[in-house]
Chains A and B, each alone.
Chain A
């Protein structure tokens, strides 16, 4: 047995070496012209060919070594893991549902205390460095983490959860979701500027406006599916953006709308004056309170989205959405009005986009069409797909990784020491985004959490558990 094992090991290395050589050759062929040569302009404006053999060698070496490591270590260990898994008795499986529930409970608790955890950690670090306990310095330092990480990620979580209703549940591929985000943002910006209405009044109104636009989009695309639907929704997103740019009388075009009123906490404004939040609670003046308030606001809005999604999934309309995704003709012949079903999906999804939009306007204090480009739609959709369509937890994880990752890239100052001073890591975020997507799609084609959780579960003694039945045994 041991003999076989060791000889098997040798052949694995030999095979890996062979594959590595091949990978090197392929990499050489691919990058020979692209990386090996570069045309530069010299002082006389002539093109000169620069040979970059060293860089090419690095590329080839990375490909070869990477392939070797993959073939020699990663693949066999994964095979072994698979083998062990198939051998292990089913009883050893942890109850995944309860595990999932525990994880989501923990995550939720963490979200609620996140700002205070950040403040505490920063204060502790300060204490460790200077030896002085200053709670206030933690409060000041937390601004970046609460705003750039917390709020930013939660906005995308909410947008992705909203889009999930349209794409994940109803299966309608929407590439123009950012349009509803824009409708929400501009509704708040314009109505508060012209009529001085408060955030709390305009938040639901923005949602209603966006939902109306969802229905406006829904009507012409009722008969479309898949790629055709995607094209039309993409166009819709662009139309909204172009209208915002060109309708300068109302929207001020690319100039944008600035000085948008901030949200208030039950009428208490977050201003430095004597009537402001800080003064009322006897706290030192700081912009952090507003950010923390915004954090809880978006957390509440995102959780509202999740709660509504979970509730709807258990209701007839949610089941109809999912059935519509699976088979439209079967749906219709079961007496489901596919027109209203689709329109409610569009409207509900759009409504949450509108909520997020008005929040965005209140947070930035400034909106311009630049914030609502197609790339935003693409990122939101990518988050939904990566997280696993229909899975709230998966989508939240995907948003945290994607948006948090982008923000982290800004923090990686030390990379400048390696790659030179003009290296800006966040410029590479799309490259990393793409890589991450490829990796996830290879590793888990249905997203992080690809399994659809049944909306109804019969807790009854079954004759055979579905775990133990093989497929296709009739």
Chain B
């Protein structure tokens, strides 16, 4: 709790070690270390502009870390091209969802399954539809015509089609109604429980994220200031004052 940096545990599925990322000359991340063990749900909370999404994209090499390294399943992926990183079965539902708007729901899901050339498409798409039945109703509809919540479901579903070992979710609750947020969070929990999928969740919605996750990190201005179990963080007065009180979404 009191320590600001957690040492990378050996055997962690993902570990980000002292990573520094720049946008031009502006430093967005200054020595960030986080890790996620297999089967865990880990959340990264923080305010706007803290660098949460930057960390997430740094894991994917867009932009690349200038210092430090990113290790996935024992392999240094810091300098790997983005598509090679994705091939290691790291999938993400990126900030702003980034679904393919003119392609149908089905085509979007097919794009998610392109790593295996649609080999497991039928099997996996059924799982996604079990998780988000709404997507099944919209199967032939263009992605761009879906509602915000449906687009978020599609982005997560598309990521799941890649059969990921690690799922990165960037603000899945952004701009959604509380009921839909609840539904999506439940779906994530369900996935984690049933398949042991490791989830790294970036959220502004601190309360919901900490209730869902096993562990959490708090990020301020490109630095991880606090970390610990979700229970501890939820009880921490500083966290409460900064992220929870008055704004219990």
Contacts and interface: CB of A to CB of B under 8 A. Distances in A.
Interface stretch (B9-17, B92-100, B230-238): B92-100
Interface stretch (A152-160, A214-222, A452-460): A452-460
A460 B139 CA distance: 10
Contact of B148 (A330, A466, A474): A474
B158 A462 contact: no
A338 B115 CA distance: 13
A462 B141 CA distance: 11
Given A319-B107, A322-B100, A323-B103, A334 B147 contact: no
A235 interface: no
Contacts of B94: 329-330, 333
Contacts of A462: 136-137, 139-140
In the complex, which of the residues A330, A457, A462 has the most CB atoms of chain B within 10 Å of its own CB atom? A330
Contacts of A474: 146-150, 177, 180
Contacts of A322: 100, 102-103, 107
Contacts of A326: 100-103
Nearest to B177: A474
A194 interface: no
B48 interface: no
B62 interface: yes
A474 B101 CA distance: 16
Interface stretch (B23-31, B82-90, B216-224): B82-90
B106 A456 contact: yes
A334 B136 contact: no
B117 to A, nearest CB: 6
B41 interface: no
B4 interface: no
A471 interface: yes
B23 to A, nearest CB: 15
B73 to A, nearest CB: 16
Contact of A332 (B82, B91, B100, B138): B82
B60 interface: yes
A268 B83 CA distance: 52
Interface string B205-219: 000000000000000
A469 interface: yes
A327 interface: yes
A333 B92 contact: yes
A50 B236 CA distance: 89
Contact of B137 (A329, A464, A472): A464
B114 A334 contact: yes
A323 B114 CA distance: 11
B110 interface: yes
Contacts of A336: 83, 86, 111, 114
Nearest to B111: A323
Contacts of A455: 107
A464 B141 CA distance: 11
Contacts of A330: 94, 98-100
Interface string A313-332: 00010011011001101111
Interface residues of A, number: 33
A319 B149 CA distance: 24
B114 A335 contact: yes
B98 A335 contact: no
B65 interface: no
A319 B147 contact: no
In the complex, which of the residues B100, B115, B117 has the most CB atoms of chain A within 10 Å of its own CB atom? B100
B180 to A, nearest CB: 7
Contact of B86 (A323, A335, A454, A469): A335
Contacts of B117: 316
A462 B87 CA distance: 33
Contact of B87 (A319, A331, A335): A335
Nearest to A331: B111
Contact of B140 (A319, A334, A466): A466
Interface in A336-351: 336-338
Contact of B115 (A332, A335, A463): A335
B162 interface: yes
B112 interface: yes
In the complex, which of the residues B106, B139, B177 has the most CB atoms of chain A within 10 Å of its own CB atom? B139
Interface in B167-224: 177, 180
B162 A335 contact: yes
Interface in B128-145: 136-142, 145
B118 interface: yes
Contacts of A320: 111, 114
A456 B150 CA distance: 20
B83 A338 contact: yes
B111 A334 contact: yes
B104 interface: yes
Contact of B112 (A334, A466, A469, A471): A334
A471 B151 CA distance: 12
Contacts of A457: 106, 140
A473 B114 contact: no
Interface string B69-89: 000000000000111001100
B140 A335 contact: no
Contacts of A327: 98-100
Nearest to B148: A474
Given A327-B98, A334-B86, A452-B102, A466 B162 contact: no
Given A326-B102, A335-B86, A456-B104, A316 B114 contact: yes
In the complex, which of the residues A333, A336, A452, A460 has the most CB atoms of chain B within 10 Å of its own CB atom? A333
B42 to A, nearest CB: 19
Interface of A: 316, 319-320, 322-323, 326-327, 329-338, 452, 454-458, 460, 462-464, 466, 469, 471-474
Interface of B: 60, 62, 81-83, 86-87, 91-92, 94, 98-104, 106-107, 110-112, 114-115, 117-118, 136-142, 145-150, 158, 162, 177, 180
> Which 3 A-B pairs give the minimum distances between C-beta atoms?
A474-B147, A335-B86, A330-B98
29 contacts: A319-B111, A322-B100, A323-B100, A329-B98, A330-B94, A330-B100, A332-B62, A332-B82, A332-B86, A333-B82, A334-B111, A334-B114, A334-B158, A335-B83, A335-B87, A335-B114, A336-B111, A452-B102, A454-B103, A455-B107, A457-B140, A458-B106, A458-B140, A462-B136, A466-B141, A469-B141, A473-B147, A474-B146, A474-B150
Given A464-B137, A474-B146, 12 more contacts: A319-B107, A326-B102, A327-B100, A332-B82, A333-B92, A335-B162, A338-B83, A454-B104, A455-B107, A456-B104, A474-B177, A474-B180
